[in-house]
Amino acid sequence: MPSPAEEIADLTVRLKRWGAAYFEIDTPLVPDADYDAAMMRLRALEADHPELQAPDSPTQRVGGAPLSAFETIAHRMPMLSLDNAFSESDLIEFHRRVVERLSVSEITYCCEPKLDGVAVSIVYESGLLTQAATRGDGVSGEDITANVKTIRNVPLMLSGDDIPSYLEVRGEITIPRSGFEQMNARARLLGQKVFVNPRNAAAGSLRQLDSSVTAKRPLEFTAYSVGVFDGSLPASHDATLRVLAEWGIPISEHMQTVVGIEACEVYYEQMAVQRDALPFDIDGIVYKVNSLEQQERLGFISRAPRWAVARKFPAQEVSTRLLGVDFQVGRTGAITPVARLEPVFVAGVTVSNATLHNIDEIQRLSVAIGDVVVVRRAGDVIPQIVSVVRDDTETNVGVREPIIFPSQCPACGAALAREAGEAAIRCVGGVGCQAQLKGVVRHFASRKAMNIDGLGDKLIDQLVDEGLLTSVADLFRLTKDGVGALDRMGEKSSENLLLSVAAARETTLSKFIYALGIREVGEATARSLSEHFMTLDAVLAASVEALEDVDDVGPVVAQHIRTFAVDERNRVILDELLAAGINWPDVTLDAGDGPLAGTIWVVTGKLVAMSREEAESRLRALGAKTASSVSKKTTSVVAGPGAGSKRKRAESLAIPIIDESALLVVLERHE
């Protein structure tokens, strides 16, 4: 057991190193949860042994020092931090202190998501944006005015009545998860810097000395308070934010004002349920005493206000050990390294596998088996390894075993190949490779494709392993005896399977094209192809140039379709499928005389009341066409939060953009 002095010294060294890396070079060395835990431990030790507290202890600092490359701006009012409540009892304790100090029994709180981004201060003088700064160390930050001006949802000029002559708005700059995933996918493809999480991507984007780089990043601002101002503002926090919104400043749509601490917990539970579905990362909830007069009476202690607290969610990034790597073969033959992890609890679920994407990613991370790694799980994105914990000398001392990428397909032994400009290494075995075949069948049978009920992954494995399936066409040759002979397949289940296979024969051209699993041909592209060419033969006969005429189809996708169409093995399977009786009604171009006939819609970003698919199918039911990319032919774009490049393109083509509530009005009017 180390003595308290030794432990304090050790924690101090670590926290300083972690803090410097985090605040000054945007590179976290350990997950936030580890940082928070170490900070909490140090605070506790210092509380027990005040004589051991150094004046420059990490517990006494708010953040890091600004970089020298930007001008420094002193905050007229310090930008403070928040105290954390890690449990319900911490929160109740916070409430008890508030009640005691104010000597009132009922407190009104404003609840807001704690956005996981970069804190900034934006100054408006006579309604004009004149300055923006990072929080920096809380006392002074960096002048990032040029960069903040590139953020599309930050108004450069406020509009409305009674705008204070001087108004400092404070808030968080974030990158929505979808924009982050796109940014990183592109960076991986081009071999550029991949960001660890949306917050670091936001920090890195704001730190660009060249603001034209910042302008290309999907940054968003959300205001959460007012700093210095000259003029009059409402007497409560929520009303103040609503006034900001009236002037054009974005605020959180999830803000809610409640009475009492129990209602705060209810809000927490509700947001915890929604967390995965939100378009952006949140790491907790912030509760603020709503009355500004009460806030003033409560005041501050050292670095945080007494009137606010952050109730943290389970961490989205945690560290664990990499036990091994499996190589999975997908339906297109791509070999994906999958990390096997010592099970850990991440954002509410236990994770024991994470993707390592591809060989480049393994090299980029310089990860080896036995390393302690940081796993991130956010939203519905599959868990990923984002970095290796390099710092902790004692954690990574075990035997490090290199990850050896296979030289042959791990499923069928065929050769592996890498196409020029591609990140993926693929098995060349085609459907001769059982792993690829299983993937192909799984996709063919899936709900949005041929929708074969009851044909799950396990059954597909059995059918392929037993040699009953050598192509998707074999599905239509299955017999009751053959299926019945499989393990755990009774007479009833065999019968049901054959019935659903038979039922799947009736389909639509677009579902059939999608089911074929042509590379990069998703549902929307399949639909565009079917509407454009109207017959399967025409799709298969189309030249690359003709294919590129289709909405949605670029040169790469066109080439994939050609490659599929000219492959003799595919033609044989297609003939067999058609001979088995797969059929679809003729494609009628004129989707009919619905009220929206003749219009072409693109739905993008996150919707709340319904999924994007549902919005599209309701639009189509009214006679509209839907597409997945914006072109000159697009008539309207529905953009929810997080809409990025499609929204930009619509703007540049001057195509009308509406939000979800306007869409609901359109749908309700016509349905």
When binding is defined by CB under 6 A, the residue of 15, 107, 151, 286 that contacts ligand IVH is 286
Q: How many residues make contact with ligand IVH (CB under 6 A)?
A: 15
480 is catalytic: no
Region near ligand IVH per CB under 6 A, out of 113-121, 242-250, 480-488, 527-535:
113-121
Q: Which two tokens stand for residue 670?
A: 């016509």
C-alpha dist (Å) from residue 212 to 68, 150, 191, 206, 215: 20, 8, 21, 11, 5
Please answer whether residues 592 and 623 qualify as being in contact, where contact means their C-beta atoms are separated by less than 8 angstroms: yes
The answer to whether residues 391 and 373 touch, using CB atoms and an 8 Å cutoff, is no
Q: Which two tokens stand for residue 211?
A: 């603001």
115 binds ligand IVH (CB under 6 A): yes
Q: How far is the CB of 258 from ligand IVH (least distance, A)?
A: 15
Distances (CA, A) of 160 to 8, 87, 163, 249, 250: 53, 41, 7, 11, 14
**Residues 292 to 331 in contact with ligand IVH, rule: CB under 6 A:** 305, 308, 310
Which span (19-27, 77-85, 412-420, 479-487) binds ligand IVH, by CB under 6 A?
77-85
Q: SS in 3 state form for 416-439? A: EECCCCCCCCEECCHHHCHHHHHH
Q: How far is the CB of 79 from ligand IVH (least distance, A)?
A: 7
- Do 377 and 383 form a contact (C-beta atoms < 8 A)? yes
Stretch that binds ligand IVH, among 37-45, 80-88, 545-553, 593-601 (CB under 6 A): 80-88
Contact set for ligand IVH, span 508-527 (CB under 6 A): none
The position carrying tokens 């005896």 is: 481
Q: What is the DSSP letter of 539?
A: H
Q: Which of residues 223 and 373 has its CB atom nearest to ligand IVH in the complex?
A: 223
74-82, 208-216, 417-425, 448-456 -> range binding ligand IVH (CB under 6 A): 74-82
Which residue, 272 or 368, has its beta carbon nearer to ligand IVH? 272
Taking CB positions, which residue lies at the least distance from ligand IVH? 119
Contact flag: residue 114 with ligand IVH (CB under 6 A): yes
Three-state SS sequence of 542-591: CCHHHHHCCCCCCHHHHHHHHHHHHCHHHHHHHHHHHHCCCECCCCCCCC
* C-alpha–C-alpha distance, residues 302 and 138, integer Å: 12
What minimum distance in Å lies between the beta carbon of 46 and ligand IVH?
Answer: 20
CB of 69 to ligand IVH, least distance (A): 22
Contacts with ligand IVH, 152-191, as mask; x by CB under 6 A: --------------------x-------------------
Binding status of residue 534 toward ligand IVH by CB under 6 A: no
In the bound state with ligand IVH, the residue whose beta carbon lies nearer, of 242 and 400, is 242
Q: Which is nearer to ligand IVH, 305 or 644 (CB)?
A: 305
Query: Choosing from 16, 114, 216, 648, which is the catalytic residue?
Result: 114
**Could you please report the per-residue DSSP string of 127-182?**
TEEEEEEE-TTSSEEEB-HHHHTT-TTS-SB--SSS--SEEEEEEEEE--HHHHHH
Nearer to ligand IVH, 175 or 666 (CB): 175
185, two tokens: 């996918």
Q: How far apart are CA 178 and CA 278, in angstroms?
A: 10
Q: Which of residues 184-243 bind ligand IVH (CB under 6 A)?
A: 224-225
Q: Which residues are catalytic?
A: 114
* Binding residues for ligand IVH (CB under 6 A): 80-82, 112, 114-115, 119, 135, 172, 224-225, 286, 305, 308, 310
